[in-house]
């Protein structure tokens, strides 16, 4: 644990500085001279106002006894360096929550920034609920992504995205299959997922609902793999191949 010990003293005190195994210095420890002498078996002598130690091993033992708990190398388990951010995401050890958030983050980035989507007529901006800020965010149920298409030439005015990590598929709920009209409108539960996604903005929710009725809303499924690659599907087809 301790690779070297330095002693710096005065006429009535002893300062011990230990170099730990990681190459760093532990916090200096100041001990009254009479206590230090007792602790090291009185194997100290004073010369020119400085204290010199005849027994390094005794000093090391003393440091071990008086060092505060939690200091030094090997105390406690190091925190995991995986699954704290999107960049160090590890699917093998990630929780379902982390996988879900990772999928939403990657799918949102793909929809907003992929050039081939812009070339296909989709210049999107998020409305309402935003993507998670990190993989450990609290899960929010409902629509994963809702976007307005700002391309004035496109007949598609909104895009609704459902992100799925790995092999996960669209699920069935009390309101029907995910992404269906009944699911979006809350047919049985009477809880509109569109209304929730826009944070209760009734005017905007009604506008999106009208666009849905006019077939001006594109529903897509973003399948995200463990490397962050996104496969974007629209009714089983590649959305990027479509133009307006």
Question: Last residue of some domain: 66, 88, 118?
Answer: 66
Q: 52: domain range?
A: 2-66
Domain co-membership, 23 together with 130: no
pTM > 0.85: no
In a domain, 73, yes or no: no
Tell me the pLDDT tens digit for each residue of 137-178: 999 999 999 999 999 999 999 999 999 999 898 999 999 999
Domain co-membership, 130 together with 184: yes
Question: Last residue of some domain: 50, 66, 82?
Answer: 66
Domain co-membership, 102 together with 210: yes
Nearest to residue 145, comparing CAs of 38, 222, 244? 222
Domain co-membership, 106 together with 33: no
In a domain, 78, yes or no: no
Check residues 180 and 32 and name the one with the higher pLDDT. Answer: 180
Domain co-membership, 37 together with 115: no
Domain count, the chain: 2
Cβ contact 60:6 at 8 Å: no
Domain co-membership, 124 together with 194: yes
Distances (CA, A) of 181 to 26, 37, 161, 216: 64, 83, 14, 13
Lowest mean pLDDT among 10-24, 131-145, 153-167, 215-229: 10-24
Domain co-membership, 125 together with 46: no
In a domain, 128, yes or no: yes
Domain co-membership, 192 together with 123: yes
Domain co-membership, 144 together with 237: yes
Domain co-membership, 48 together with 125: no
């Amino acid at each position: 644990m301790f690779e070297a010990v330095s002693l710096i003293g005065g006429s009535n005190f002893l300062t011990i500085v230990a170099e730990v195994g990681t190459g760093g210095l532990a916090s200096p420890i100041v001990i009254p001279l009479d206590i230090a002498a007792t602790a090291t078996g009185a194997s100290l002598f004073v010369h020119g106002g400085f204290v010199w130690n005849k027994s390094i091993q005794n000093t090391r033992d003393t440091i071990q006894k008086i060092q505060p708990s939690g200091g030094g190398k090997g105390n406690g388990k190091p925190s995991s360096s995986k699954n704290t951010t999107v960049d160090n995401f590890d699917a093998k050890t990630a929780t379902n929550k982390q996988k879900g958030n990772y999928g939403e983050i990657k799918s949102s980035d793909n929809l907003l920034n992929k050039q081939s989507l812009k070339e296909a007529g989709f210049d999107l901006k998020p409305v309402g609920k935003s993507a998670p800020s990190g993989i450990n965010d609290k899960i929010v149920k409902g629509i994963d992504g809702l976007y307005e298409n700002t391309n004035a030439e496109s007949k598609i005015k909104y895009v609704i995205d459902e992100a799925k990590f790995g092999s996960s598929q669209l699920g069935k709920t009390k309101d029907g299959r995910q992404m269906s009209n009944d699911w979006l409108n809350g047919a049985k539960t009477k809880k509109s997922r569109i209304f929730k996604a826009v944070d209760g903005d009734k005017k905007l929710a009604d506008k999106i609902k009208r666009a849905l009725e006019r077939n001006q809303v594109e529903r897509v499924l973003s399948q995200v793999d463990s490397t962050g690659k996104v496969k974007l599907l629209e009714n089983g087809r590649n959305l990027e191949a479509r133009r307006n």
